[in-house]
Amino acid sequence: MKNYSEDEVRENFKIFFEEEGLTSEIIRVAENYPDDRSIEITYGDLMDHFDVEFPEYIHENPRTCLELATEAINEILGSSYEDTSIRLRIKDLPAAHNKGVRELRADDLTKFIGVTGLVRKATEVRPRITIAVFQCMRCGAKIKQHQNIGKIEEPMECQSCGKSANKTSFKLILEDSEFTDYQTLEIQESPEDLRGGEQPQRLKGWTKEDMVGIVSPGDRIVMNGILDGTPKSGPGGSKSRTFNIFMRLNSIEVQDYEYKDVKLSEEDKTR
* 97 binds Zn ion per the rule CB under 5 A: no
CA torsion angle 147 149 154 155 (round to 10)? -50
CA gap 189, 68 in Å, rounded: 33
Range in contact with Zn ion (rule: CB under 5 A) among 54-62, 103-111, 131-139, 219-227: 131-139
* 264 binds Zn ion per the rule CB under 5 A: no
DSSP notation for 43-59: HHHHHHHH-SHHHHHHH
Alpha helices (runs of H) in the chain, residue ranges in sequence order: 6-19, 23-32, 43-50, 53-60, 62-77, 266-270
Measured from the CB atom, the residue of 64 and 160 that comes closer to Zn ion is 160
Measured from the CB atom, the residue of 15 and 139 that comes closer to Zn ion is 139
* 138 binds Zn ion per the rule CB under 5 A: yes
Say if strands 170-172 and 142-146 run parallel, antiparallel, or are unpaired: unpaired
* 160 binds Zn ion per the rule CB under 5 A: yes
CA torsion angle 72 75 81 86 (round to 10)? 0
Total of chain residues touching Zn ion, rule CB under 5 A? 7
Q: What minimum distance in Å lies between the beta carbon of 151 and Zn ion?
A: 22
Measured from the CB atom, the residue of 30 and 158 that comes closer to Zn ion is 158
* 161 binds Zn ion per the rule CB under 5 A: yes
Range in contact with Zn ion (rule: CB under 5 A) among 39-47, 159-167, 203-211, 214-222: 159-167
CA gap 219, 118 in Å, rounded: 6
Quick check: 266 and 228 in contact, CB under 8 A? Answer: no
Q: What minimum distance in Å lies between the beta carbon of 176 and Zn ion?
A: 16
CA gap 31, 83 in Å, rounded: 11
Q: What minimum distance in Å lies between the beta carbon of 134 and Zn ion?
A: 10
| DSSP helix, strand, coil percent of the chain (3-state; round to 5) | 30, 35, 30
Measured from the CB atom, the residue of 111 and 138 that comes closer to Zn ion is 138
In the list 26, 39, 158, 185, the residue contacting Zn ion (rule: CB under 5 A) is 158
In the list 9, 136, 143, 222, the residue contacting Zn ion (rule: CB under 5 A) is 136
DSSP tag of 269: H
Measured from the CB atom, the residue of 94 and 155 that comes closer to Zn ion is 155
Q: What minimum distance in Å lies between the beta carbon of 34 and Zn ion?
A: 32
Binding mask 102-121 for Zn ion (x = CB under 5 A): --------------------
Q: Which residues here bind Zn ion, judged by CB under 5 A?
A: 136, 138-139, 141, 158, 160-161
